[in-house]
Amino acid sequence: MISEAVDLWDPEPGWLNTASYGLPPRPTIDAMHAALDEWRRGVAPWTTWDLSTGRARAAFARLVGVPVDTVAVGATVSGMLSVVGAALPAGARVVVPEIEFTSNLFPWLVHADRGVQIDTVPAGKLADMIDARTDLVSFSIVQSATGEIAAIDEIIAAARRHGALVVGDASQAAGWLPVEAARFDVLVCAGYKWLMTPRGAAFGYFSPAVWDRFRPLQANWYAGEDVPNSFYGPSMRLAASARRFDLSPAWFSYVGAAPSLELLTEIGVDAVRAHNVALANRFRAGVGLPPGDSAIVSSAIVSSAIISGDRPDAADRLAAAGVRAAVRHGRLRASFHLYTTEADVDRALDALA
Ligand SMILES: Cc1ncc(COP(=O)(O)O)c(C=O)c1O
């Protein structure tokens, strides 16, 4: 139940910026404090902290509905996508929305000099722009600046028709919107937003069909088939599964990731979605927008204020009222997660009134 679980968070009122970073529940902070204390005193082997990596991987797999051996752990979205970009042959064509967070754009653009063609197209036209020449389409399931939910069915159908790989970025979706990773060839997700992990934990679903297709460029001991026996020795012996794409983990990020993810799966994404969208719609109604379906609201309130001059201090007034939101493309971006309350929303609306 969200109403009970919410007692595990202690935000200062007015945090409307989970799209930048999510806030941890107390079990997450407690686990991190305990591990940091063990580190300080040198009383635990790293393998103790690493148990959390396995727990986080399993909870993420549950969250997006795939077997655990299809999930790799990493540190950033861009790092995980670098493996996919490097596998594109010269002359490959990649289609990406024209407004897209650059962690899902630069990993493709960096290959332009060897003849990889990147076409950035309007988000609403993504499915239409996939054709027989397309090798890969990559898009955010929820757009980070606008909160728009991508037309997943149409995009995947078009990609499958033309044999293009489908890469999804679930960083602004997983944790509040149900995500079925198995529909994608690769699905990446930063942990530090809606999954409420520390920065330094990211997850990647790699479908079995691509395991042999991508070179595990970050090959390391932790990605070995038998980790304790992968510390030394000349022969290459990476895991047969998606674990071959693992980065050796930032221990304390994963110590915090496990409790957050486990709590999230316990509460259930459907309940989180209902809660978040209801609050987003309360905010939308307050600023004169029709109801929407996203936990992220982009409102022209900041830019129109600047243009018309009638509310020159919209952003300042929010800040003065203790509301922490973001400005993206000259628009106010407010985001609502399970620890957000109606009082947080009303605080923002009062400041804007
Ligand atoms: C859609 C999306 N993907 C990825 C990221 C973060 O990427 P990285 O883990 O490479 O820093 C963000 C951060 O805002 C994002 O909004």
Per-residue pLDDT tens, the chain, 353 aa: give them: 788 888 999 999 999 999 999 999 999 999 999 999 999 999 999 999 999 999 999 999 999 999 999 999 999 999 999 999 999 999 999 999 999 999 999 999 999 999 999 999 999 999 999 999 999 999 999 999 999 999 999 999 999 999 999 999 999 999 999 999 999 999 999 999 999 999 999 999 999 999 999 999 999 999 999 999 999 988 999 999 999 999 999 999 999 999 999 999 999 999 999 999 999 999 999 999 999 999 999 998 765 554 445 554 678 889 999 999 998 887 899 999 999 999 999 999 999 98
Let me know how long the chain is: 353
User: CA 5, CA 30: separation in Å to the nearest integer?
Assistant: 16
Atom of ligand 1 nearest to the CA of 100: 1
Ligand 1 atom with minimal separation from the 202 CA: 9
**Residue 150 structure tokens:** 């991508």
Residue owning tokens 């806030």: 23
Distance (Å) from CA 235 to ligand 1 centroid:
35
- In short, whether 105's Cβ falls inside 6 Å of ligand 1 is no
Q: Dig out the tokens for 279 from the structure.
A: 């609050």
For residue 259, the one-letter residue type is P
Establish whether residue 17 lines the binding site of ligand 1, counting it when its CB lies within 6 angstroms of any ligand atom. Answer: no
Q: How far, in Å, CA of 261 to CA of 259, rounded?
A: 6
* Ligand 1 contacts CB of residue 78 (under 6 A): yes
Q: Pick the closest to residue 147 from 293, 288, 327 (CA basis).
A: 293
Query: Is pTM beyond 0.75 here?
Result: yes
Q: Which of 77, 169, 186 to mutate to test the pocket of ligand 1 (most atoms within 8 A of CB)?
A: 77
- Ligand 1 centroid to Cα of residue 237, in Å, is 31
Are the CB atoms for 9 and 340 separated by under 8 Å?
no
Cβ-contact 136, 165 below 8 angstroms? yes
Backbone angles phi, psi at 120, to 5 degrees: -100, 125
What is the Å distance from ligand 1's center to 39 Cα? Answer: 29
- With tokens 């655990």, the residue in question is 68
Query: In testing the pocket of ligand 1, which one of 172, 194, 328 has its CB within 8 Å of the most ligand atoms?
Result: 172
CA 256 to ligand 1 centroid distance, Å = 19
- Alpha helices by DSSP H, 140-226: 152-162
Ligand 1 and 172: CB distance under 6 A: yes
Between the CA of 19 and the centroid of ligand 1 the distance, in Å, is 10
Q: Is ligand 1 within 6 A of the CB of residue 197?
A: no
